[in-house]
């Protein structure tokens, strides 16, 4: 239990170091992705590939090239600028997404809800209260209770232009060529 609480604080603190404008909804998305990976994005693979190709054409990208978001499973966010700049091939990234979508946590919605509320308690005890805006907290509550996905907050989108995909640690190391 203590070890998991340390990981919660570590993941959230790292996110806030990289993205100080993050709000509660952004942290929820982070922990969700660090648990389930890209499974939800890959339910319609044809649409996922189309959207990936469109998003690579964006003109603004976050400065963070990759980020370890491992929580219940080992996942990384990989910035699509690496694909745009031809450091990673789009077909290799897509193969990584397909494979990574099969390895996320297999917990029930009720188990995730319970886990999230535990994460929430740890975050509220350890992070600055300005992160917990009423709007952001409401969006998270609706997502958790209604099994909905969330988007990044408007301040996060404006500040960081988050264009990334979530892949497993194994695929990250394969694509980037380093052990993390």
Nearest-angstrom CA–CA distance, 125 and 113: 19
Q: 17: buried, middle or exposed (CB in 10 Å: 19+, 13-18, 0-12)? A: exposed
pLDDT (mean) for 11-24: 96
Residue with tokens 């397909």: 98
Is 34's pLDDT higher than 70?
yes
Residues facing 66 on adjacent strands: 78
Which of these ranges, 8-12, 146-150, 157-161, 166-170, has the smallest mean pLDDT?
146-150
Q: Which helix (H) or strand (E) holds 139?
A: helix 134-146
Quick: pLDDT tens for 72-115: 889 999 999 999 999 999 999 999 999 999 987 788 889 999 99
Contact between residue 69 and residue 19 where contact means Cβ atoms under 8 Å apart: no
DSSP E strands: which ranges in the chain? 66-68, 75-79, 164-168
Is 132's pLDDT higher than 80?
yes
pLDDT of residue 30: 97
pLDDT of residue 41: 86
Is 179's pLDDT higher than 70?
no
Based on its alpha-carbon atoms, the radius of gyration of the chain, rounded to whole angstroms, reads 16
Encoding tokens for residue 160?
A: 């960081």
Q: 54: buried, middle or exposed (CB in 10 Å: 19+, 13-18, 0-12)? A: exposed
Q: Which residues contact 89 (CB under 8 A, 6 or more apart)?
A: 83
pLDDT of residue 1: 52
The sign of the torsion formed by the CA atoms of 23, 14, 18, 33 equals negative
Q: 99: buried, middle or exposed (CB in 10 Å: 19+, 13-18, 0-12)? A: middle
Residues facing 164 on adjacent strands: 79
pLDDT, averaged across the chain? 92
Encoding tokens for residue 85?
A: 């700049």
């Amino acid at each position: 239990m203590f070890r998991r609480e340390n990981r919660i604080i570590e993941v959230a603190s790292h996110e806030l170091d990289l993205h100080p404008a993050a709000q509660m909804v952004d942290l929820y998305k982070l922990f969700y992705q660090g648990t389930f990976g890209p499974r939800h994005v890959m339910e319609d693979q044809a649409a996922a590939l189309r959207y990936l190709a469109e998003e690579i054409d964006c003109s603004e990208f976050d400065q963070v090239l990759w980020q370890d978001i491992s929580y219940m499973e080992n996942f990384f966010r990989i910035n699509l600028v690496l694909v745009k700049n031809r450091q990673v091939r789009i077909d290799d990234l897509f193969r990584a997404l397909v494979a990574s979508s099969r390895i996320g946590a297999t917990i029930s919605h009720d188990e995730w809800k319970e886990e999230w509320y535990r994460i929430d308690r740890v975050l509220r005890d350890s992070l600055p209260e300005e992160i917990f805006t009423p709007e952001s907290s409401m969006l998270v509550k609706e997502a958790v209770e209604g099994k909905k996905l969330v988007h990044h907050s408007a301040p996060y989108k404006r500040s960081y232009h988050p264009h990334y995909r979530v892949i497993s640690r194994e695929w990250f190391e394969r694509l980037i060529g380093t052990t993390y």
